[in-house]
Structure 1
């Protein structure tokens, strides 16, 4: 009986939400849940692929330039992609634990975005220079690294800069790796103050704020490289034919989140109506506001919704699409919920019907998934505004990739920042005008 009580104390705590006391999962419990999913991703690799092929595939992944779009499932193999993704998540969680950071909504979103992009673009080599740069920035500012850990995870959007310089320009191998690491460290040193400033640009209506910042820095970096006669090659490495196994795999994963969340939430969906009422504008922390259990339910629901969307339009569950689904799911702790993402996705779908392109094409699938960074527009100004935002985003994002040459993995976040900056002042103006008329 004492053992049961110790486990209960380790996992469960009393919490007051909306003026009422209820049982929620502890920080230790949250960490156990997150580690569980990190281990699932990591060890799934051995189910998909023989051990020797996994590790040879990791070598291929690490030595690739990794610019958009480099699908690690196609580049190497499925096992290597899963192993890379899971290992990145576990590394991120160890950093969170060592720095004594609470698993709030923003932290959970930042942790999940790492393994999401671990299927394309981020790997166990190229994230570290940027993280080191942010760490050095924290020391220069005489702050604890824990203050910047969330932004440091998001900042790895520019990880391909390290890989491209290291392996993509035919430099002497040692010189290339040295220059790539230096470039990554420099990005890490400057990205935090710029990202903090750019929040004002879109007023918190782009959930991928660092994606916009990375787009600016990536464009500047690419312009500098092009001025030196260095350019990236157009890259489109995509996997296909894995829908059956991956839809089952991720479907079960997201369903387990809903079940675990329901159990942690005292076997109820209490407070989910509060999540659905939220606009999602930065900073909306569902974990702190509504509890971890119901947040986990929301995350699982978003994962299922986005997976079903991809399958319904006939899309392929390639690396970039899986990354998008995991990213949306992670942001289910930090601003996204079904009511504010669906209008954005509908806007992208309508755009695919009217423009040159297909809804099942990778460009439109990515726009529909990653474009949900604009969810706060739908949450604040309504469904029609969300549809317009998704429509505009899907058109703009097709043109922004050239600016940064594929160095910014959050290309959609770059586009979303521009769309939000244009739409929000107009929406606010009409909102004020209607208020005055009333």
Structure 2
């Protein structure tokens, strides 16, 4: 057999192996989504869950809207689980590759399905990205992550759709055109804006959505359409929800070890990575090591919330799931810890405590700056977290709370400024060291 014949013979095998892993990953994510549905129905019963789903679908979703407070804990969990199962179906039909980015995206859908994304408002923006792919003559699978990361702006659709200032004959077409239009421009905008932070902010779509959302809000405000602030935040469920989310994260680690007994050794390789995007940990260290990293990262983040006396509710669990999801695409327990420490230090000098809702979320979502700690060292990670603790509190006003990834927007700004400064300082030190080494005593 010639080398070319051997290559052709091995290609189908490699393709089949890849397809098998893609199906396995989809099944794992779908299994966790189904667990959300099952737990929700057991908690509240089918009738209350159904009423909760209706309440969630028809609610305004501006930050900060805890779906546990809108539709009950059962309704919120079921809504998030059903949404994620539906999105998993889209990934399956599109034959999308299940990379670390895809896992991060699906866990973000599951997490934000607890506060802002629902079975109604996400499809408009996803349809816009699909139209963009058609316009480019490219498969939707190539842009599917952008589509479902991009539903960060889904509250824009709900805000217009359920506005009391508009009639249905106006709100429905306006919401449709706005949502589809946002989706159409997200992909090219995200590709360009990635260059600003050079992959040191993992939530690139959050940065992009923040800027797009700012333009949309400015446009509508100029015509007198101003989104009202929303704040729905539930408390008092730490034992129930802590047990649920703790079992979920622990099971990820156990599953990773069951799938690959060599995963602990591969995890060491993963922990040496800086995390600078794109960092596909599944490709780097395998699925088993990635699942262990996801579980450990989720448990570490949960421990932080409990240690500072925080609340476990829809937004916080959503943030915890984002930490775990991006542990497949850039985050690990060593590069997120300095970021969280930096945010905590920032809270000590503020009138707000670490358990304040906005600062709880800042500590968790700021971990998308983990590549700064991974690349430049833990000291820079602390600086990034410290700065982010202030930036995240102030940027929400410009997009009217309609960008669910407010911390992603803030982190994009922080990384775009801090990373070039860190590079310049490091190069300056290296230049002086080289000069000293070449100079006589």
TM-score in terms of structure 1 length: 0.93
* SS of structure 2 residue aligned to 1:287: helix
Q: Could you say which structure has the larger radius of gyration?
A: 2
Residue 419 of structure 2 corresponds to: 424
CA contact (8 A) 1:24 1:291 kept: no
1:376 aligns to 2:371 (yes or no): yes
* SS of structure 2 residue aligned to 1:50: helix
Q: 2:319 aligns with which of 302, 324, 327?
A: 324
Q: 2:283 aligns with which of 271, 281, 288?
A: 288
1:76 aligns to 2:71 (yes or no): yes
Structure 1 Cα separation of the partners of residues 126 and 153 of structure 2: 11
Residue 271 of structure 2 corresponds to: 276
Residue 7 of structure 2 corresponds to: none
* SS of structure 2 residue aligned to 1:363: helix
In the TM superposition, what whole-angstrom CA distance separates every residue of 1:349-397 from its partner, at most 9, and x where no partner exists? Answer: 0111111211011111110001111000000011110011001011011
Residue 389 of structure 1 corresponds to: 384
1:25-424 matches, cutoff 5 A: 26-266=21-261, 268-424=263-419
Q: Whose helix proportion is higher, 1 or 2?
A: 2
Shift of 1:329: 0.4
* SS of structure 1 residue aligned to 2:137: coil
In the TM superposition, what whole-angstrom CA distance separates every residue of 1:292-321 from its partner, at most 9, and x where no partner exists? Answer: 011000001111111111011000012111
Structure 1 Cα separation of the partners of residues 135 and 23 of structure 2: 31
Structure 1 Cα separation of the partners of residues 127 and 382 of structure 2: 39
CA contact (8 A) 2:153 2:402 kept: yes
- Structure 2 residue runs of 5 or longer lacking an equivalent are 1-12, 434-441
CA contact (8 A) 2:241 2:313 kept: no
Structure 2 Cα separation of the partners of residues 183 and 24 of structure 1: 36
Structure 2 Cα separation of the partners of residues 14 and 331 of structure 1: 26
CA contact (8 A) 1:25 1:292 kept: no
Shift of 1:52: 1.1
Shift of 1:27: 2.8
CA contact (8 A) 1:24 1:265 kept: no
CA pair 204-267 structure 1, distance change in 2 beyond 3 A? closer
Shift of 1:26: 2.8
CA contact (8 A) 2:29 2:106 kept: no
Shift of 1:267: 6.0
Shift of 1:259: 0.5
Shift of 1:169: 4.1
In the TM superposition, what whole-angstrom CA distance separates every residue of 1:160-200 from its partner, at most 9, and x where no partner exists? Answer: 00000011343113431221121100100111100000000
CA contact (8 A) 1:105 1:333 kept: yes
CA contact (8 A) 1:133 1:187 kept: yes
Shift of 1:28: 2.8
In the TM superposition, what whole-angstrom CA distance separates every residue of 1:238-258 from its partner, at most 9, and x where no partner exists? Answer: 111110000000101111111
- Structure 1 residue runs of 5 or longer lacking an equivalent are 1-12, 16-22
Structure 1 Cα separation of the partners of residues 269 and 377 of structure 2: 17
Aligned length: 419
CA contact (8 A) 1:205 1:374 kept: yes
RMSD of aligned C-alpha atoms? 1.6
In the TM superposition, what whole-angstrom CA distance separates every residue of 1:124-147 from its partner, at most 9, and x where no partner exists? Answer: 000000000000111111111000
Structure 1 Cα separation of the partners of residues 42 and 344 of structure 2: 35
* SS of structure 2 residue aligned to 1:171: coil
Residue 439 of structure 2 corresponds to: none
Structure 2 Cα separation of the partners of residues 267 and 137 of structure 1: 42
CA contact (8 A) 2:125 2:150 kept: yes
CA contact (8 A) 1:169 1:230 kept: no
Structure 2 Cα separation of the partners of residues 344 and 143 of structure 1: 38
